[in-house]
Amino acid sequence: MCVALDAMRWAERPQGMRDLFPSQARMRRNLEDWLIRFFEDRGFSLVSSGAFEYADTLQRGRGPTASEQWVQVFDRSGRPMALRPDMTPSVARMAAPLVAAGQLPIRWCYAERVYHRSDAPATLSWMSGRAAESTQVGVECIGESGVAADSQLLSLCLDALAGLRRAGVRMVISHALFVPALLELLGVPADDLEPLLALLTAGDYVAFRAESRRFVGEVDVMELLSTLNPFQPDTLPGTLVRPESAASQRLQAAWRALCQLADAIRASDHASAMVFDLSLHRDPSYYTGMVFEVFAPGAGAPIAQGGRYDHLLREFGAPAPAIGFTFEVERLMTLFADEELVMQRGVVSC
Protein backbone atom coordinates (compact mmCIF):
# COMPACT_ATOMS: atom_id res chain seq x y z
CA MET A 1 0.00 0.00 0.00
CA CYS A 2 1.05 3.57 -0.64
CA VAL A 3 2.82 4.73 2.51
CA ALA A 4 1.22 8.20 2.42
CA LEU A 5 -2.30 6.71 2.60
CA ASP A 6 -1.51 4.23 5.40
CA ALA A 7 -3.82 5.61 8.11
CA MET A 8 -2.37 3.27 10.75
CA ARG A 9 1.07 4.74 10.39
CA TRP A 10 0.48 8.49 10.86
CA ALA A 11 -1.11 10.36 13.73
CA GLU A 12 -4.60 11.71 13.02
CA ARG A 13 -5.48 15.37 12.83
CA PRO A 14 -8.65 16.28 14.80
CA GLN A 15 -11.82 16.91 12.82
CA GLY A 16 -12.24 20.50 11.65
CA MET A 17 -8.63 21.50 12.37
CA ARG A 18 -6.31 22.52 9.57
CA ASP A 19 -2.54 22.59 9.25
CA LEU A 20 -0.62 25.25 7.38
CA PHE A 21 2.68 24.30 5.79
CA PRO A 22 5.49 26.84 5.43
CA SER A 23 4.40 29.22 2.67
CA GLN A 24 0.76 29.41 3.76
CA ALA A 25 1.59 29.73 7.44
CA ARG A 26 3.96 32.58 6.60
CA MET A 27 1.31 34.31 4.54
CA ARG A 28 -1.25 34.11 7.34
CA ARG A 29 1.21 35.46 9.88
CA ASN A 30 2.24 38.27 7.50
CA LEU A 31 -1.38 39.21 6.96
CA GLU A 32 -2.08 39.25 10.69
CA ASP A 33 1.04 41.33 11.29
CA TRP A 34 0.24 43.74 8.48
CA LEU A 35 -3.31 44.33 9.72
CA ILE A 36 -2.25 44.74 13.36
CA ARG A 37 0.46 47.21 12.35
CA PHE A 38 -2.10 49.05 10.22
CA PHE A 39 -4.52 49.34 13.16
CA GLU A 40 -1.77 50.28 15.64
CA ASP A 41 -0.62 53.07 13.32
CA ARG A 42 -4.16 54.44 13.55
CA GLY A 43 -4.32 54.51 17.31
CA PHE A 44 -5.58 51.05 18.22
CA SER A 45 -3.79 49.07 20.94
CA LEU A 46 -3.28 45.33 20.66
CA VAL A 47 -5.00 43.18 23.30
CA SER A 48 -5.22 39.44 23.76
CA SER A 49 -7.17 37.03 25.93
CA GLY A 50 -7.40 33.31 26.61
CA ALA A 51 -9.32 31.12 24.19
CA PHE A 52 -11.87 30.03 26.82
CA GLU A 53 -14.64 32.18 28.26
CA TYR A 54 -17.36 31.17 30.67
CA ALA A 55 -20.52 30.34 28.74
CA ASP A 56 -22.51 32.98 30.62
CA THR A 57 -20.01 35.65 29.49
CA LEU A 58 -20.51 34.66 25.86
CA GLN A 59 -24.27 34.48 26.34
CA ARG A 60 -24.62 38.14 27.35
CA GLY A 61 -26.57 40.12 24.78
CA ARG A 62 -27.11 37.10 22.55
CA GLY A 63 -30.15 35.04 21.65
CA PRO A 64 -30.87 31.72 23.37
CA THR A 65 -29.77 29.61 20.39
CA ALA A 66 -26.34 31.24 20.03
CA SER A 67 -24.68 28.57 22.17
CA GLU A 68 -25.50 25.88 19.60
CA GLN A 69 -22.53 27.20 17.63
CA TRP A 70 -20.01 26.95 20.47
CA VAL A 71 -17.46 24.35 21.40
CA GLN A 72 -18.34 23.88 25.07
CA VAL A 73 -16.55 22.14 27.91
CA PHE A 74 -16.74 22.24 31.72
CA ASP A 75 -14.07 23.61 33.99
CA ARG A 76 -12.94 21.54 36.97
CA SER A 77 -15.77 22.84 39.14
CA GLY A 78 -18.36 21.89 36.51
CA ARG A 79 -18.98 25.42 35.27
CA PRO A 80 -19.66 25.52 31.53
CA MET A 81 -17.16 27.36 29.38
CA ALA A 82 -16.63 27.59 25.67
CA LEU A 83 -13.96 28.41 23.14
CA ARG A 84 -14.69 31.99 22.06
CA PRO A 85 -16.78 32.20 18.85
CA ASP A 86 -15.48 35.75 18.34
CA MET A 87 -13.46 38.31 20.30
CA THR A 88 -16.20 40.83 21.08
CA PRO A 89 -17.38 39.24 24.38
CA SER A 90 -13.79 38.98 25.64
CA VAL A 91 -13.11 42.59 24.71
CA ALA A 92 -16.34 43.70 26.41
CA ARG A 93 -15.43 41.73 29.56
CA MET A 94 -11.94 43.26 29.64
CA ALA A 95 -13.13 46.78 28.87
CA ALA A 96 -16.09 47.02 31.26
CA PRO A 97 -14.06 47.89 34.41
CA LEU A 98 -12.16 50.57 32.45
CA VAL A 99 -15.42 51.97 31.11
CA ALA A 100 -16.79 52.11 34.66
CA ALA A 101 -13.64 54.01 35.70
CA GLY A 102 -14.29 56.54 32.95
CA GLN A 103 -11.27 55.66 30.83
CA LEU A 104 -12.91 56.32 27.47
CA PRO A 105 -12.61 56.01 24.57
CA ILE A 106 -11.11 52.54 24.31
CA ARG A 107 -9.64 51.62 20.94
CA TRP A 108 -8.36 48.07 20.83
CA CYS A 109 -7.36 45.65 18.11
CA TYR A 110 -6.71 41.91 18.25
CA ALA A 111 -5.56 38.95 16.16
CA GLU A 112 -6.85 35.68 17.57
CA ARG A 113 -8.19 32.27 16.65
CA VAL A 114 -11.92 31.76 17.14
CA TYR A 115 -13.89 28.52 17.27
CA HIS A 116 -17.22 27.15 16.10
CA ARG A 117 -18.87 23.79 16.05
CA SER A 118 -18.75 22.58 12.50
CA ASP A 119 -19.37 19.32 10.69
CA ALA A 120 -18.15 20.62 7.34
CA PRO A 121 -14.65 19.75 6.15
CA ALA A 122 -12.23 22.47 7.25
CA THR A 123 -11.12 23.33 3.74
CA LEU A 124 -14.67 24.09 2.59
CA SER A 125 -15.67 25.97 5.70
CA TRP A 126 -12.59 28.20 5.66
CA MET A 127 -13.35 29.37 2.16
CA SER A 128 -17.02 29.98 2.58
CA GLY A 129 -18.87 28.71 5.60
CA ARG A 130 -18.04 28.57 9.28
CA ALA A 131 -14.79 26.85 10.09
CA ALA A 132 -14.15 24.99 13.33
CA GLU A 133 -11.09 27.17 13.86
CA SER A 134 -10.36 30.42 12.07
CA THR A 135 -8.45 33.65 12.54
CA GLN A 136 -9.98 37.04 13.11
CA VAL A 137 -8.12 40.34 13.12
CA GLY A 138 -10.37 43.18 14.17
CA VAL A 139 -10.93 46.37 16.09
CA GLU A 140 -13.35 47.45 18.79
CA CYS A 141 -14.06 51.09 19.54
CA ILE A 142 -15.80 51.68 22.87
CA GLY A 143 -17.19 55.03 24.01
CA GLU A 144 -17.78 56.61 20.62
CA SER A 145 -21.22 57.06 19.13
CA GLY A 146 -22.61 58.97 16.20
CA VAL A 147 -22.41 58.91 12.47
CA ALA A 148 -18.84 60.25 12.34
CA ALA A 149 -17.53 57.29 14.33
CA ASP A 150 -19.53 54.92 12.11
CA SER A 151 -18.21 56.30 8.86
CA GLN A 152 -14.64 56.46 10.18
CA LEU A 153 -14.79 52.78 11.04
CA LEU A 154 -16.14 51.88 7.59
CA SER A 155 -13.33 53.89 6.01
CA LEU A 156 -10.76 52.20 8.25
CA CYS A 157 -11.92 48.80 6.97
CA LEU A 158 -11.77 49.82 3.31
CA ASP A 159 -8.46 51.67 3.83
CA ALA A 160 -6.97 48.42 5.06
CA LEU A 161 -8.18 46.55 1.96
CA ALA A 162 -6.88 49.35 -0.26
CA GLY A 163 -3.54 49.07 1.56
CA LEU A 164 -3.52 45.36 0.76
CA ARG A 165 -4.29 46.32 -2.85
CA ARG A 166 -7.43 44.21 -3.10
CA ALA A 167 -9.63 45.56 -5.89
CA GLY A 168 -13.32 45.18 -6.57
CA VAL A 169 -14.39 44.93 -2.94
CA ARG A 170 -17.90 45.91 -2.02
CA MET A 171 -19.13 46.91 1.41
CA VAL A 172 -22.82 46.21 2.02
CA ILE A 173 -24.35 48.33 4.77
CA SER A 174 -27.62 47.90 6.62
CA HIS A 175 -29.18 48.77 9.98
CA ALA A 176 -29.93 46.13 12.61
CA LEU A 177 -33.16 47.75 13.80
CA PHE A 178 -34.68 48.71 10.44
CA VAL A 179 -36.15 45.40 9.28
CA PRO A 180 -37.48 44.42 12.75
CA ALA A 181 -39.27 47.79 12.97
CA LEU A 182 -40.56 47.45 9.39
CA LEU A 183 -41.96 43.95 9.99
CA GLU A 184 -43.61 45.08 13.20
CA LEU A 185 -45.07 48.11 11.44
CA LEU A 186 -46.47 45.86 8.69
CA GLY A 187 -48.26 43.79 11.32
CA VAL A 188 -45.97 40.85 12.11
CA PRO A 189 -46.73 39.71 15.71
CA ALA A 190 -43.79 40.00 18.14
CA ASP A 191 -43.60 36.20 18.61
CA ASP A 192 -43.15 35.59 14.90
CA LEU A 193 -40.44 38.21 14.41
CA GLU A 194 -37.42 36.11 15.43
CA PRO A 195 -38.04 33.18 13.06
CA LEU A 196 -38.66 35.60 10.18
CA LEU A 197 -35.44 37.49 10.87
CA ALA A 198 -33.57 34.18 11.07
CA LEU A 199 -34.73 33.37 7.52
CA LEU A 200 -33.41 36.72 6.34
CA THR A 201 -30.06 36.17 8.09
CA ALA A 202 -29.80 32.73 6.47
CA GLY A 203 -30.56 34.21 3.04
CA ASP A 204 -33.60 31.97 2.56
CA TYR A 205 -35.55 34.62 0.68
CA VAL A 206 -38.03 32.08 -0.71
CA ALA A 207 -39.17 31.08 2.77
CA PHE A 208 -38.98 34.69 3.99
CA ARG A 209 -41.33 35.81 1.21
CA ALA A 210 -43.75 32.95 1.87
CA GLU A 211 -43.74 33.41 5.66
CA SER A 212 -43.95 37.21 5.65
CA ARG A 213 -46.88 37.04 3.23
CA ARG A 214 -48.85 35.28 5.97
CA PHE A 215 -48.74 38.50 8.00
CA VAL A 216 -48.32 41.40 5.63
CA GLY A 217 -50.67 40.36 2.82
CA GLU A 218 -50.09 42.23 -0.39
CA VAL A 219 -46.75 43.87 0.49
CA ASP A 220 -43.69 42.10 -0.96
CA VAL A 221 -41.20 42.94 1.78
CA MET A 222 -38.16 41.87 -0.28
CA GLU A 223 -39.28 44.10 -3.14
CA LEU A 224 -39.87 47.00 -0.74
CA LEU A 225 -36.42 46.55 0.84
CA SER A 226 -34.74 46.51 -2.56
CA THR A 227 -36.21 49.93 -3.44
CA LEU A 228 -34.86 51.64 -0.30
CA ASN A 229 -31.68 53.62 -0.81
CA PRO A 230 -30.43 55.91 1.98
CA PHE A 231 -28.43 57.89 -0.61
CA GLN A 232 -31.90 59.06 -1.70
CA PRO A 233 -33.87 59.77 1.50
CA ASP A 234 -37.17 60.08 -0.38
CA THR A 235 -37.14 56.38 -1.30
CA LEU A 236 -38.79 55.65 2.07
CA PRO A 237 -42.51 55.38 1.20
CA GLY A 238 -44.72 57.92 2.98
CA THR A 239 -47.09 55.12 4.00
CA LEU A 240 -44.48 53.90 6.48
CA VAL A 241 -44.35 57.28 8.22
CA ARG A 242 -47.00 57.18 10.93
CA PRO A 243 -46.35 59.51 13.87
CA GLU A 244 -48.69 57.60 16.22
CA SER A 245 -46.92 54.25 15.82
CA ALA A 246 -43.93 53.32 17.99
CA ALA A 247 -42.65 50.92 15.33
CA SER A 248 -42.82 53.66 12.71
CA GLN A 249 -40.83 55.98 14.95
CA ARG A 250 -38.12 53.33 15.39
CA LEU A 251 -38.15 52.73 11.65
CA GLN A 252 -37.72 56.43 10.94
CA ALA A 253 -34.95 56.76 13.51
CA ALA A 254 -33.05 53.92 11.81
CA TRP A 255 -33.72 55.47 8.41
CA ARG A 256 -32.48 58.90 9.53
CA ALA A 257 -29.31 57.30 10.91
CA LEU A 258 -28.75 55.54 7.59
CA CYS A 259 -29.36 58.70 5.57
CA GLN A 260 -26.87 60.61 7.74
CA LEU A 261 -24.37 57.81 7.23
CA ALA A 262 -25.01 57.96 3.47
CA ASP A 263 -24.23 61.69 3.57
CA ALA A 264 -20.99 61.09 5.42
CA ILE A 265 -20.03 58.28 3.02
CA ARG A 266 -20.71 60.37 -0.07
CA ALA A 267 -17.80 62.60 0.89
CA SER A 268 -15.39 59.69 1.51
CA ASP A 269 -12.83 58.20 -0.87
CA HIS A 270 -14.56 54.86 -0.80
CA ALA A 271 -18.09 55.95 -1.74
CA SER A 272 -18.08 53.82 -4.90
CA ALA A 273 -17.30 50.65 -2.91
CA MET A 274 -20.20 51.13 -0.49
CA VAL A 275 -23.80 50.13 -1.08
CA PHE A 276 -26.83 49.90 1.16
CA ASP A 277 -28.94 46.78 1.23
CA LEU A 278 -31.54 46.80 3.97
CA SER A 279 -32.29 43.11 3.45
CA LEU A 280 -28.89 42.38 5.02
CA HIS A 281 -29.66 41.16 8.52
CA ARG A 282 -26.85 39.92 10.71
CA ASP A 283 -26.42 37.66 13.67
CA PRO A 284 -25.71 38.10 16.63
CA SER A 285 -28.71 39.82 18.10
CA TYR A 286 -26.78 42.47 20.04
CA TYR A 287 -26.36 44.86 17.11
CA THR A 288 -28.22 48.13 17.65
CA GLY A 289 -27.25 50.27 14.67
CA MET A 290 -25.32 50.14 11.45
CA VAL A 291 -24.16 46.65 10.39
CA PHE A 292 -22.04 45.71 7.40
CA GLU A 293 -20.34 42.93 5.49
CA VAL A 294 -17.51 43.21 2.97
CA PHE A 295 -17.28 41.00 -0.11
CA ALA A 296 -14.49 40.53 -2.62
CA PRO A 297 -14.31 38.70 -5.95
CA GLY A 298 -12.69 35.34 -5.28
CA ALA A 299 -13.98 34.83 -1.75
CA GLY A 300 -17.32 33.04 -1.51
CA ALA A 301 -18.23 34.57 1.86
CA PRO A 302 -17.72 37.93 3.62
CA ILE A 303 -14.07 38.80 4.22
CA ALA A 304 -14.98 41.34 6.90
CA GLN A 305 -18.03 42.14 8.99
CA GLY A 306 -19.05 44.34 11.85
CA GLY A 307 -21.47 46.82 13.27
CA ARG A 308 -22.60 48.97 16.16
CA TYR A 309 -23.60 47.36 19.47
CA ASP A 310 -24.50 50.09 21.94
CA HIS A 311 -26.13 47.87 24.58
CA LEU A 312 -23.58 45.08 24.95
CA LEU A 313 -21.31 46.88 27.43
CA ARG A 314 -24.33 47.45 29.67
CA GLU A 315 -24.68 43.66 29.83
CA PHE A 316 -21.16 43.63 31.24
CA GLY A 317 -22.00 46.21 33.90
CA ALA A 318 -20.75 49.45 32.33
CA PRO A 319 -22.94 51.07 29.66
CA ALA A 320 -21.09 52.57 26.71
CA PRO A 321 -21.68 52.80 22.97
CA ALA A 322 -19.43 50.55 20.94
CA ILE A 323 -18.63 49.60 17.38
CA GLY A 324 -16.27 47.12 15.80
CA PHE A 325 -15.44 44.89 12.88
CA THR A 326 -13.24 41.96 12.08
CA PHE A 327 -11.41 40.55 9.10
CA GLU A 328 -11.70 36.82 8.36
CA VAL A 329 -8.03 36.14 7.71
CA GLU A 330 -8.30 32.73 6.02
CA ARG A 331 -10.85 34.16 3.57
CA LEU A 332 -8.58 37.15 2.93
CA MET A 333 -5.80 34.67 2.13
CA THR A 334 -7.85 33.30 -0.78
CA LEU A 335 -7.56 36.74 -2.43
CA PHE A 336 -3.78 36.48 -2.70
CA ALA A 337 -1.91 34.56 -5.36
CA ASP A 338 0.90 32.24 -4.25
CA GLU A 339 3.58 34.56 -5.58
CA GLU A 340 2.20 37.60 -3.76
CA LEU A 341 3.73 38.42 -0.42
CA VAL A 342 2.31 40.69 2.22
CA MET A 343 5.24 42.54 3.74
CA GLN A 344 5.25 45.20 6.37
CA ARG A 345 5.73 47.86 3.72
CA GLY A 346 2.95 46.55 1.52
CA VAL A 347 2.12 43.83 -0.96
CA VAL A 348 4.92 42.65 -3.24
CA SER A 349 5.11 40.05 -5.98
CA CYS A 350 8.06 37.72 -6.13
Partner 1 sequence: MLTIALAKGRTTDGVWPLLLAAGLPLPTDLDETRALVFDVAADAATFQVHRMRYLLAKPADVPTYVQYGVADLGIVGKDILMEEPRDVSELVDLECACCRLCVAGRPEDELRPPRRVATKYPRLTDQYFRSQGTAVEIVPLSGSIELAAVIGLTDRIFDLVQTGATLRANGLKVFDTVSDVSARLIANRSSYHLQREAIRQVAEALAAAVARRKTG
Binding residues for partner 1, rule: CB under 8 A, are 124, 127-130, 168, 170, 172, 203-207, 210, 226, 275, 277, 293, 295-302
Looking at beta carbons only, is 97 or 300 nearer to partner 1?
300
Q: In Å, what is the CA distance from 265 to each residue of 77, 149, 259, 262?
A: 51, 12, 10, 5
**Contact between 97 and 81 (Cβ < 8 Å):** no
Closest approach, Cβ 205 to partner 1, in A, equals: 6
At CA 134, angle to CA 132 and CA 138, rounded to 5? 140
Looking at beta carbons only, is 40 or 220 nearer to partner 1?
220
- Dihedral sign computed on CA atoms, order 121, 124, 127, 128: negative
Looking at beta carbons only, is 42 or 170 nearer to partner 1?
170
Looking at beta carbons only, is 142 or 265 nearer to partner 1?
265
Closest approach, Cβ 66 to partner 1, in A, equals: 17
Looking at beta carbons only, is 23 or 123 nearer to partner 1?
123
Closest approach, Cβ 303 to partner 1, in A, equals: 9
**Contact between 139 and 39 (Cβ < 8 Å):** yes
φ, ψ for residue 86, nearest 5 deg: -160, 175
- Dihedral sign computed on CA atoms, order 246, 147, 106, 38: positive
Closest approach, Cβ 75 to partner 1, in A, equals: 32
Looking at beta carbons only, is 92 or 122 nearer to partner 1?
122
Q: 226: Cβ–Cβ under 8 A, 6 or more apart, which residues?
A: 277, 279
**Contact between 147 and 252 (Cβ < 8 Å):** no
Closest approach, Cβ 287 to partner 1, in A, equals: 18
Closest approach, Cβ 291 to partner 1, in A, equals: 14
